[in-house]
Amino acid sequence: MKVTYGKAISDALKEEMRRDEKVLIYGEDVAEFGNIFGLTRGMLEEFGPKRIRNTPITETAIIGSAIGAAETGLRPCVELMYSDFTTVCFAEIFHCVSKWRYMHGPEYKLPLVIRNASGSANGAGSEHSNCVESLFMHSPGLTIVTPSCAYDAKGLLKSAIRSDNPVLFCEPKLLYQAKQEISDDVYNSDYTIPLGKADVKREGKDVTLVAVGLMVSRALEAAEKLAAEGIEVEVVDPRTIAPLDKETIFDSIRKTHRAAVVEESNKTAGIGAELVQEELYDELDGPVMRIAALDVPMPYNIPMEHYSIPDVNRIVETVRKML
Protein backbone atom coordinates (compact mmCIF):
# COMPACT_ATOMS: atom_id res chain seq x y z
CA MET A 1 0.00 0.00 0.00
CA LYS A 2 1.09 3.60 -0.62
CA VAL A 3 0.88 5.73 2.50
CA THR A 4 1.34 9.49 2.72
CA TYR A 5 3.39 11.00 5.51
CA GLY A 6 0.31 12.86 6.72
CA LYS A 7 -1.81 9.71 6.89
CA ALA A 8 0.93 7.97 8.88
CA ILE A 9 0.82 10.77 11.47
CA SER A 10 -2.98 10.63 11.58
CA ASP A 11 -3.08 6.84 11.92
CA ALA A 12 -0.47 6.87 14.70
CA LEU A 13 -2.56 9.38 16.65
CA LYS A 14 -5.77 7.36 16.24
CA GLU A 15 -4.13 4.07 17.13
CA GLU A 16 -2.60 5.50 20.30
CA MET A 17 -5.90 7.16 21.28
CA ARG A 18 -7.64 3.79 20.91
CA ARG A 19 -4.91 1.94 22.78
CA ASP A 20 -4.67 4.25 25.78
CA GLU A 21 -7.53 6.38 27.08
CA LYS A 22 -5.03 8.64 28.84
CA VAL A 23 -3.86 10.00 25.46
CA LEU A 24 -5.51 13.29 24.51
CA ILE A 25 -5.04 15.81 21.73
CA TYR A 26 -5.56 19.54 21.78
CA GLY A 27 -4.35 22.62 19.98
CA GLU A 28 -5.40 25.26 17.49
CA ASP A 29 -8.14 24.07 15.09
CA VAL A 30 -7.55 20.35 15.76
CA ALA A 31 -11.16 19.40 16.62
CA GLU A 32 -13.99 20.43 14.24
CA PHE A 33 -11.63 21.70 11.55
CA GLY A 34 -9.34 18.70 11.89
CA ASN A 35 -5.98 20.54 11.94
CA ILE A 36 -4.82 23.00 9.29
CA PHE A 37 -3.55 20.05 7.23
CA GLY A 38 -6.53 17.77 7.98
CA LEU A 39 -4.53 15.28 10.03
CA THR A 40 -7.01 15.09 12.93
CA ARG A 41 -10.16 15.20 10.81
CA GLY A 42 -12.87 12.85 12.13
CA MET A 43 -11.21 12.32 15.51
CA LEU A 44 -13.66 14.59 17.37
CA GLU A 45 -16.52 12.34 16.25
CA GLU A 46 -14.70 9.19 17.35
CA PHE A 47 -13.12 10.30 20.63
CA GLY A 48 -15.35 13.15 21.78
CA PRO A 49 -14.65 16.67 23.08
CA LYS A 50 -13.01 15.52 26.33
CA ARG A 51 -10.12 13.91 24.47
CA ILE A 52 -9.73 16.15 21.44
CA ARG A 53 -10.43 19.85 21.71
CA ASN A 54 -9.60 23.24 20.27
CA THR A 55 -7.70 25.86 22.25
CA PRO A 56 -7.46 29.63 22.05
CA ILE A 57 -4.56 31.00 20.05
CA THR A 58 -2.23 31.09 23.03
CA GLU A 59 0.72 28.75 22.76
CA THR A 60 1.93 29.55 26.28
CA ALA A 61 -1.36 28.27 27.73
CA ILE A 62 -1.29 25.19 25.49
CA ILE A 63 2.13 24.12 26.76
CA GLY A 64 1.51 25.18 30.36
CA SER A 65 -1.71 23.18 30.58
CA ALA A 66 -0.08 20.22 28.82
CA ILE A 67 2.62 20.15 31.49
CA GLY A 68 -0.08 20.02 34.14
CA ALA A 69 -1.96 17.27 32.30
CA ALA A 70 1.21 15.19 31.96
CA GLU A 71 2.01 15.67 35.64
CA THR A 72 -1.36 14.20 36.62
CA GLY A 73 -0.82 11.00 34.61
CA LEU A 74 -2.37 11.89 31.26
CA ARG A 75 -0.45 11.68 27.98
CA PRO A 76 -1.15 14.91 26.11
CA CYS A 77 -0.13 15.18 22.46
CA VAL A 78 -0.54 18.87 21.75
CA GLU A 79 -0.16 20.72 18.49
CA LEU A 80 1.31 24.19 17.96
CA MET A 81 0.42 24.23 14.26
CA TYR A 82 3.66 25.73 12.87
CA SER A 83 7.08 25.11 14.39
CA ASP A 84 7.64 28.87 14.39
CA PHE A 85 5.08 29.18 17.18
CA THR A 86 7.29 27.26 19.59
CA THR A 87 9.13 30.53 20.04
CA VAL A 88 5.98 32.11 21.50
CA CYS A 89 6.13 29.59 24.37
CA PHE A 90 9.89 29.21 24.34
CA ALA A 91 10.32 29.68 28.08
CA GLU A 92 7.80 26.96 28.90
CA ILE A 93 9.51 24.46 26.58
CA PHE A 94 13.10 25.49 27.30
CA HIS A 95 12.83 25.80 31.08
CA CYS A 96 9.89 23.68 32.21
CA VAL A 97 9.24 20.91 29.68
CA SER A 98 12.87 20.01 29.12
CA LYS A 99 14.21 20.45 32.67
CA TRP A 100 11.54 19.50 35.16
CA ARG A 101 11.94 15.73 34.98
CA TYR A 102 15.63 16.10 35.77
CA MET A 103 14.99 18.66 38.50
CA HIS A 104 12.29 16.71 40.33
CA GLY A 105 13.88 13.28 40.58
CA PRO A 106 13.37 9.74 39.26
CA GLU A 107 9.71 9.37 40.28
CA TYR A 108 8.66 12.39 38.24
CA LYS A 109 7.44 11.72 34.69
CA LEU A 110 6.45 14.13 31.94
CA PRO A 111 4.86 12.17 29.06
CA LEU A 112 4.21 15.09 26.72
CA VAL A 113 4.46 15.31 22.92
CA ILE A 114 4.58 18.69 21.18
CA ARG A 115 3.77 18.31 17.49
CA ASN A 116 4.55 21.03 14.97
CA ALA A 117 4.72 21.44 11.19
CA SER A 118 8.22 22.60 10.32
CA GLY A 119 10.22 23.97 7.43
CA SER A 120 9.48 25.57 4.10
CA ALA A 121 6.01 25.50 2.58
CA ASN A 122 6.05 27.09 -0.89
CA GLY A 123 5.40 30.71 -0.03
CA ALA A 124 4.51 30.70 3.68
CA GLY A 125 7.20 33.30 4.40
CA SER A 126 9.76 33.83 7.11
CA GLU A 127 7.35 33.61 10.08
CA HIS A 128 5.86 30.25 9.06
CA SER A 129 8.76 28.35 7.49
CA ASN A 130 11.41 27.79 10.15
CA CYS A 131 13.07 24.66 11.46
CA VAL A 132 13.58 24.93 15.22
CA GLU A 133 15.41 21.71 16.08
CA SER A 134 18.78 23.37 16.57
CA LEU A 135 17.26 26.00 18.88
CA PHE A 136 16.01 23.32 21.25
CA MET A 137 19.11 21.13 20.99
CA HIS A 138 20.49 23.61 23.53
CA SER A 139 17.89 22.43 26.04
CA PRO A 140 19.01 19.08 27.55
CA GLY A 141 16.18 16.81 28.64
CA LEU A 142 14.05 17.34 25.55
CA THR A 143 13.83 14.57 22.95
CA ILE A 144 13.70 16.03 19.42
CA VAL A 145 12.39 13.93 16.54
CA THR A 146 12.21 14.71 12.80
CA PRO A 147 10.97 11.78 10.69
CA SER A 148 11.76 11.70 6.97
CA CYS A 149 9.18 9.20 5.67
CA ALA A 150 5.75 7.76 6.42
CA TYR A 151 7.02 4.52 7.96
CA ASP A 152 9.31 6.35 10.36
CA ALA A 153 6.72 9.03 11.15
CA LYS A 154 4.18 6.48 12.36
CA GLY A 155 6.61 4.35 14.37
CA LEU A 156 8.40 7.30 15.94
CA LEU A 157 5.20 9.13 16.90
CA LYS A 158 3.83 6.03 18.63
CA SER A 159 7.10 5.73 20.57
CA ALA A 160 6.98 9.43 21.43
CA ILE A 161 3.46 9.18 22.84
CA ARG A 162 4.45 6.15 24.95
CA SER A 163 7.61 7.81 26.26
CA ASP A 164 7.74 9.17 29.81
CA ASN A 165 10.06 11.93 28.58
CA PRO A 166 8.88 15.08 26.77
CA VAL A 167 9.23 15.00 22.98
CA LEU A 168 9.33 17.81 20.42
CA PHE A 169 8.00 16.15 17.25
CA CYS A 170 8.83 18.11 14.08
CA GLU A 171 7.01 17.25 10.84
CA PRO A 172 8.37 18.80 7.60
CA LYS A 173 5.37 20.37 5.89
CA LEU A 174 6.51 19.49 2.38
CA LEU A 175 6.44 15.79 3.31
CA TYR A 176 2.76 15.58 4.30
CA GLN A 177 1.72 14.48 0.79
CA ALA A 178 4.84 12.40 0.09
CA LYS A 179 3.96 8.74 -0.46
CA GLN A 180 5.86 5.63 0.55
CA GLU A 181 5.22 2.01 -0.34
CA ILE A 182 4.72 -0.03 2.86
CA SER A 183 3.40 -3.57 3.05
CA ASP A 184 -0.06 -3.92 4.60
CA ASP A 185 1.17 -6.39 7.22
CA VAL A 186 3.92 -4.07 8.43
CA TYR A 187 1.89 -0.87 8.36
CA ASN A 188 -1.11 -2.36 10.12
CA SER A 189 0.98 -3.95 12.86
CA ASP A 190 1.52 -2.18 16.15
CA TYR A 191 5.12 -1.35 15.32
CA THR A 192 7.23 1.30 17.00
CA ILE A 193 10.66 2.74 16.23
CA PRO A 194 13.00 3.37 19.17
CA LEU A 195 13.78 7.00 19.91
CA GLY A 196 17.46 7.90 19.69
CA LYS A 197 18.33 5.41 16.95
CA ALA A 198 19.54 6.54 13.51
CA ASP A 199 18.87 4.63 10.29
CA VAL A 200 21.19 4.02 7.34
CA LYS A 201 18.92 4.71 4.37
CA ARG A 202 21.57 3.89 1.75
CA GLU A 203 24.95 2.21 2.07
CA GLY A 204 28.09 3.58 0.43
CA LYS A 205 31.85 3.72 0.83
CA ASP A 206 33.02 7.15 -0.34
CA VAL A 207 31.09 9.85 1.56
CA THR A 208 28.65 9.92 4.48
CA LEU A 209 25.67 12.24 4.12
CA VAL A 210 23.85 12.81 7.42
CA ALA A 211 20.50 14.10 6.19
CA VAL A 212 17.62 15.43 8.30
CA GLY A 213 13.88 15.38 7.58
CA LEU A 214 13.00 16.76 4.15
CA MET A 215 16.63 16.52 3.10
CA VAL A 216 16.76 12.71 3.33
CA SER A 217 14.89 12.17 0.06
CA ARG A 218 17.05 14.82 -1.63
CA ALA A 219 20.21 13.19 -0.31
CA LEU A 220 19.05 9.83 -1.66
CA GLU A 221 18.34 11.37 -5.06
CA ALA A 222 21.76 13.01 -5.05
CA ALA A 223 23.33 9.67 -4.13
CA GLU A 224 21.72 8.06 -7.18
CA LYS A 225 23.14 10.76 -9.44
CA LEU A 226 26.60 10.43 -7.92
CA ALA A 227 26.49 6.64 -8.24
CA ALA A 228 26.34 7.11 -12.01
CA GLU A 229 29.72 8.85 -11.68
CA GLY A 230 31.16 6.03 -9.60
CA ILE A 231 30.79 7.84 -6.27
CA GLU A 232 29.08 5.72 -3.60
CA VAL A 233 27.35 7.83 -0.95
CA GLU A 234 26.06 6.50 2.36
CA VAL A 235 22.94 8.30 3.61
CA VAL A 236 22.31 8.28 7.36
CA ASP A 237 19.03 9.59 8.78
CA PRO A 238 19.39 10.51 12.49
CA ARG A 239 15.57 10.48 12.91
CA THR A 240 16.06 11.62 16.51
CA ILE A 241 18.06 14.85 16.68
CA ALA A 242 18.39 14.73 20.47
CA PRO A 243 19.67 12.46 21.77
CA LEU A 244 21.81 12.06 18.65
CA ASP A 245 22.85 8.53 17.72
CA LYS A 246 26.53 9.33 17.25
CA GLU A 247 27.50 5.64 17.24
CA THR A 248 25.69 4.90 13.98
CA ILE A 249 26.84 8.15 12.40
CA PHE A 250 30.46 7.69 13.47
CA ASP A 251 30.52 4.06 12.31
CA SER A 252 29.59 5.33 8.86
CA ILE A 253 32.22 8.07 8.90
CA ARG A 254 34.92 5.60 9.98
CA LYS A 255 34.08 3.69 6.81
CA THR A 256 33.93 6.61 4.36
CA HIS A 257 36.32 9.11 6.06
CA ARG A 258 34.31 12.00 4.61
CA ALA A 259 31.09 13.54 5.94
CA ALA A 260 28.55 16.23 5.24
CA VAL A 261 25.38 17.21 7.07
CA VAL A 262 22.33 18.16 4.98
CA GLU A 263 19.61 20.10 6.77
CA GLU A 264 16.80 22.52 6.02
CA SER A 265 17.59 24.85 8.91
CA ASN A 266 20.05 27.74 8.73
CA LYS A 267 23.72 26.92 8.55
CA THR A 268 24.94 29.07 11.44
CA ALA A 269 24.54 27.16 14.73
CA GLY A 270 22.54 24.50 12.89
CA ILE A 271 22.37 20.76 13.49
CA GLY A 272 25.52 20.28 11.40
CA ALA A 273 27.54 22.25 13.91
CA GLU A 274 27.09 19.36 16.34
CA LEU A 275 28.99 16.87 14.19
CA VAL A 276 32.22 18.13 15.64
CA GLN A 277 35.52 16.93 14.24
CA GLU A 278 37.22 16.57 17.62
CA GLU A 279 35.76 13.10 18.16
CA LEU A 280 36.78 11.70 14.76
CA TYR A 281 39.63 13.97 13.74
CA ASP A 282 42.02 11.14 12.83
CA GLU A 283 39.35 9.38 10.77
CA LEU A 284 38.51 12.32 8.54
CA ASP A 285 40.17 13.06 5.21
CA GLY A 286 38.70 16.56 5.22
CA PRO A 287 36.42 18.86 7.21
CA VAL A 288 32.80 17.94 7.91
CA MET A 289 30.82 19.96 5.38
CA ARG A 290 27.51 21.64 6.17
CA ILE A 291 24.87 21.84 3.46
CA ALA A 292 22.12 23.98 4.95
CA ALA A 293 19.72 26.84 4.33
CA LEU A 294 21.21 30.24 3.65
CA ASP A 295 21.43 32.56 6.64
CA VAL A 296 18.51 34.69 5.48
CA PRO A 297 14.87 34.98 6.57
CA MET A 298 12.81 32.65 4.40
CA PRO A 299 11.59 34.64 1.36
CA TYR A 300 7.92 34.77 0.34
CA ASN A 301 9.00 34.54 -3.29
CA ILE A 302 8.81 30.82 -4.09
CA PRO A 303 11.81 30.61 -6.48
CA MET A 304 13.88 32.49 -3.90
CA GLU A 305 12.60 30.14 -1.17
CA HIS A 306 13.67 27.12 -3.21
CA TYR A 307 17.07 28.72 -3.79
CA SER A 308 17.61 29.35 -0.08
CA ILE A 309 17.36 25.71 1.02
CA PRO A 310 19.52 22.83 -0.24
CA ASP A 311 18.45 21.05 -3.39
CA VAL A 312 19.77 17.93 -5.10
CA ASN A 313 22.22 19.86 -7.27
CA ARG A 314 23.77 21.66 -4.29
CA ILE A 315 24.26 18.32 -2.52
CA VAL A 316 25.83 16.77 -5.62
CA GLU A 317 28.22 19.69 -6.13
CA THR A 318 29.31 19.66 -2.48
CA VAL A 319 30.11 15.95 -2.58
CA ARG A 320 32.12 16.41 -5.80
CA LYS A 321 34.17 19.14 -4.13
CA MET A 322 34.80 16.90 -1.12
CA LEU A 323 36.39 14.33 -3.43
Which amino acids are annotated catalytic?
59, 128
Q: DSSP for 107-134?
A: T-----EEEEEES--SS--TTS----HH
Dist. CA 53–CA 27, nearest whole Å? 7
Nearest to 116 by CA among 90, 91, 138: 90
**113 in the Ramachandran plot: left (φ > 0), alpha (ψ -120 to 50) or beta?**
beta
Dist. CA 204–CA 116, nearest whole Å? 33
Dist. CA 264–CA 314, nearest whole Å? 12
User: What sign results for the dihedral spanned by CA atoms 181, 185, 190, 196?
Assistant: negative
Q: Which residues contact 70 (CB under 8 A, 6 or more apart)?
A: 76, 109, 110, 111, 112, 166
